[in-house]
Chain A
Amino acid sequence: MINLQNIEKVYRTKTIETVALNNINLSVEKGEFLSIMGPSGCGKSTLLNIIGLLDEPSEGQVQIAGSDFKKHSDKQLAAFRNQNIGFIFQSFHLINDLSVIDNVELPLIYRKSTAKQRRELAAAALEKVGLANRMKHFPSQLSGGQKQRVAIARAIVGRPALILADEPTGNLDSVMGNEIMDILLNLNQQDNATVVMVTHDENMAKRTNRLVRLFDGMQVQ
């Protein structure tokens, strides 16, 4: 599903050169649940952004679902993200002025679909995360766990093959964190979705198929 070869990411300013990722080689099989751990600033989010085609590596090759992403246009990358990748963020990134169901519909707006189709898919996604009764609510009316469940519904509404989660339980207490983890595991096991999750939590990481550790931009496990 994911194949990263010799990935290097260097941030350059006029005076400083910072190596965020150094010689990362990583393969993730379809249906695998991979967790990435490491101390703050070790390059976990950078790696996730590169996998999610939100950032480009300075060196190396990114292959996702058999496609090589070296010379793709902004439009092609956006279309690929929209069709194949679902994102979940630590701080949820919900749009406060849109209702729960409108937030979930967001990825579908960027593809050809009717309002009816969007509504049906969004309702089904909310059903899946147990928030069917909160469709008309606004994010400010939800708890942290509920917000993250909305974010998950938004990530899965387009039926992506790959889900990228950047510390999805980072802002939640352990009970809510476990609930979110259960949903992600469920998606991985029942829908055969490939999940790559960045986490600081050893307990969460232990529940995944495989763990990759980063330190100073290098893969150490």
Chain B
Amino acid sequence: MIRQLFKLMWNSKRNHSLLIIEIFFSFLVLFGVMSFIISQYANYVEPMGFEGDNVWVVWFENANAEGGSLSKQKENMLNRIETFEEVDYVTVSENAIPFGGTRNSQSLKKGEVEVWSRYFFGDANYEEVLEIPLTEGKWFDKNTDDLKYEPVIINQRLREELFGNETAIGQILNPEDQGRPKKVVGVIGNFRWGGDFHKQENIYFAPVGKDRISTLLVKVKPTVTAEFEGQLSKTISGIAKGYQIEIERLVDKRKTANNLIYIPSIILLTVCGFLIFNVILGLFGILWANINKRKGEIGTRRAMGATQMLIAGQFVGEVMVIATFALILGCFFAVQFPLMNVFGLANAIYIKAILVSILVIYFLVGICAFYPSWQASKIHPAIALHAD
């Protein structure tokens, strides 16, 4: 029966070409959207690698321009902030503000291996403020200071690319700019600084310059009130005279960063949903008209021994076969993405997107086909035979 279904649909493929094209394009749109959604989900389920829930960011306006003058107050400022019982830790960071966006990157060389990596500057407290677990070695401290080598903390991804199964701690890396060589002192797991949907990338941390201060990260106790924010701001302003202070919560920055993915995702899904809804309506109409045109055939099949179930199965099966033709064509194009490594997504994401899209298309087509087919099966054979 399945063989006959394929034969019947193959022989009538020209009549169904529009339907095949419609399903084909629906599949491609769905595949694109699914690739995007699955890749974002794959990022989402990865550990962030740090905890920023009770961390505040203190911005100093024009701090970079006059960093030198602010550096004089640095020690005083940090000491004063640490005296607040509401504060757990405070750290100085030049650009390592999670969810804030940074563009610093460079190539690192280890022998013949050259790997691109993003980098951040933090101080000894950075690990404590963001609760970054180390998997090997230690964070910067006074003991890691070395005039010859700059101590760096690398993430697991960079570690694997540079050293494979070798020990990372103590390895020397040469930057592309021929600057000071770097010595690996610690390894962390993830550091998805860009948000919940940010993909893993190579990252290393280097110690922030002693005189530099552009932002502070302050880890406060979960019970702090809004009043403390005012108190903190006032205290810092009193020390960093002439600077405008802005305090921002890391959780808010996280929401903003996530919205950059949520909003296009919702728009994409809505557009895709409308497209597919239109295809469903078209499909439903075509099937309904098609079945009405084939009442004589329904009667003949019933006379030849087909049950109601077999008639319904025949029509659902036909649509599934049409969908299969469209999906074979669609898959041919879709598999080019992993084969040609388009957009740099992992092959598994494309494969999952293909499978999910196939399932969704079959499900939707099955739903569309079910009702008209069931109605067709209920046509009385004697009436069906005299319909033509």
Residues of chain A touching chain B, judged by Cβ–Cβ distance below 8 Å, are 45-46, 49, 52, 54-55, 74-75, 78-79, 81-83, 85, 87, 89, 91, 93, 95, 97-99, 102, 105-107, 109-111, 115, 138, 154
Residues of B within 8 A of A83 (CB): 305
Q: Which residues of A contact B309 (CB under 8 A)?
A: 75
Between A and B, 18 residue pairs with Cβ closer than 8 Å are A55-B382, A74-B308, A78-B307, A79-B305, A85-B303, A87-B303, A87-B304, A89-B300, A91-B296, A95-B297, A95-B300, A97-B12, A98-B4, A99-B11, A106-B300, A109-B1, A110-B305, A138-B11
Residues of the B chain whose Cβ atoms lie less than 8 Å from the Cβ of A81: 302-305
Contact status B385-A89, CB under 8 Å: yes
Most B CB atoms within 10 A — which of A54, A78, A111? A78
**Interface membership of B381, Cβ < 8 A:** yes
CA distance A95 to B12 in the complex (A): 11
Which one of B299, B306, B380 contacts A93 once the chains associate, using CB atoms below 8 Å? B299
Contacts of A95 in B (CB 8 A): 8, 297, 300
A111 pairs with B307, CB closer than 8 A: no
**Known A81-B303, A89-B300, A91-B296; further 6 A-B contacts with Cβ < 8 A:** A74-B307, A82-B305, A85-B303, A91-B388, A97-B12, A102-B4
Is the pair A78, B388 in contact by a Cβ cutoff of 8 Å? Answer: no
Shortest CB-to-CB span from A99 to chain B, Å, is 8
Contact B302 A54, beta carbon cutoff 8 Å: yes
CA separation between A75 and B386, bound complex, in Å? 22
Asked whether, in the complex, the Cβ of B4 is within 8 Å of the Cβ of A78, the reply is no
Complex contact B297–A75 (CB within 8 A) = no
Residue B210, interface by CB 8 Å: no
User: B386, A45: Cβ atoms under 8 Å?
Assistant: yes
Determine whether B221 belongs to the interface, using a CB cutoff of 8 Å to chain A.
no
Among residues of B, the one whose C-beta sits closest to the C-beta of A107 is B304
- CB neighbours of A154 from chain B (8 A): 304
In the bound complex, what is the Cα–Cα distance between A187 and B381 (angstroms)? 26
B386 touches A106 (CB 8 A): no
Tell me the smallest distance from the CB of A45 to a CB of chain B, in Å: 7
| B3 proximal to A (CB < 8 A) | yes
B301 at the A/B interface (Cβ < 8 Å)?
Answer: yes
Q: Could you say which residues of chain B place their CB within 8 Å of the CB of A109?
A: 1, 4
Shortest CB distance B1–A (Å): 5
Q: Contacts A54-B381, A91-B296 given; indicate if A105 touches B308 (C-beta within 8 A).
A: no
Question: Do the beta carbons of B296 and A93 come within 8 Å of each other?
Answer: yes
- Smallest CB–CB gap between A57 and chain B, Å? 12
Contact flags B1-20 to A (C-beta < 8 A → 1, else 0):
10110011001100100000
Task: Among A52, A106, A115, point to the contact of B3 (Cβ < 8 A).
Answer: A115
With CB as the reference atom, state the residue of chain B lying closest to A75.
Answer: B307
Determine the distance from Cα of A85 to Cα of B381 in the docked complex, in whole angstroms.
15
Residue B310 at the chain A interface, CB threshold 8 Å: yes
Q: Pick the 4 closest A-B CB pairs, nearest first.
A: A82-B305, A110-B305, A97-B12, A93-B300
Asked if residues B388 and A107 are in contact (CB atoms below 8 Å), the reply is: no
Given A91-B388, A93-B299, A98-B306 contact (CB < 8 Å) = no
Tell me if B382 and A110 are in contact (CB < 8 A). no
Q: Which residues of B contact A138 (CB under 8 A)?
A: 11
Among candidates A85, A87, A98, A115, residue contacting B11 with C-beta atoms closer than 8 Å? A98
A78 with B305: CB separation less than 8 A: yes
Which of A55, A97, A98: most chain B CB closer than 10 A? A97
What is the CB-to-nearest-CB distance from A142 to chain B, in angstroms, rounded to a whole number?
A: 15
Whether A111 contacts B300 in the complex (CB less than 8 A), given A49-B382, A54-B381, A98-B8, comes out as no
How near does chain B come to A77, taking the closest CB pair, in angstroms? 9
Listed residue (B15, B301, B302, B385) with the most chain A CB atoms within 10 angstroms of its CB: B385
A81 to B1, CA, bound (A): 18
Contact between B11 and A106, CB atoms less than 8 A apart: no
Report B-chain residues with C-beta under 8 Å of the C-beta of A91: 296, 388
**Beta-carbon contacts of B42-61 to A below 8 Å, as 1s and 0s?**
00000000000000000000
